[in-house]
């Protein structure tokens, strides 16, 4: 999901994409995409605008640039312990 979001948007230029476009690219249900996007946003890896457009954040791009060979799990509770 994060990889596709990074392909479809850009943090530097603030280029955005849509839930619909991501769902089509990933062949997934829009509700599933929205759920994952909210999880990424909670971890500060994505931004969701009030008009529904979405983009990757600098943090999200930097995480992918690490080119880790292992699965990475980011806990939003560790970032925002009051949630």
pTM above 0.75, yes or no: yes
Per-residue pLDDT at 22 exceeds 90: yes
CA-CA distance, 80 to 42, in Å (whole number)? 8
User: What angle, rounded to 10 degrees, do the helices at 30-42 and 19-26 form?
Assistant: 110
- Tell me if 37 sits within 8 A of 19, measured CB to CB: yes
Q: What is the pLDDT of residues 4-15, one digit of tens each?
A: 999 999 888 999
Measured CA to CA in angstroms, residue 34 lies from 15, 67, 70, 80 at distances of 18, 25, 24, 20
Q: What is the pLDDT of residues 36-60, one digit of tens each?
A: 999 999 999 999 999 989 999 999 9
The domains of the chain, with CATH numbers, are: 2-67 (1.10.10.10)
Dihedral of CA 27/30/31/34: which sign? Answer: positive
Per-residue pLDDT at 73 exceeds 60: yes
């Amino acid at each position: 999901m994060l990889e596709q979001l990074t392909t479809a948007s850009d943090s530097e230029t603030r280029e955005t994409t849509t839930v619909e476009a991501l769902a089509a690219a990933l062949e997934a249900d829009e509700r599933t995409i929205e759920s994952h996007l909210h999880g990424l946003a909670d971890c500060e890896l994505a931004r969701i605008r009030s008009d529904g457009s979405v983009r990757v954040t600098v943090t999200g791009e930097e995480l992918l640039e690490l080119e880790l060979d292992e699965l990475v799990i980011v806990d939003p509770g560790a970032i925002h312990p009051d949630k």
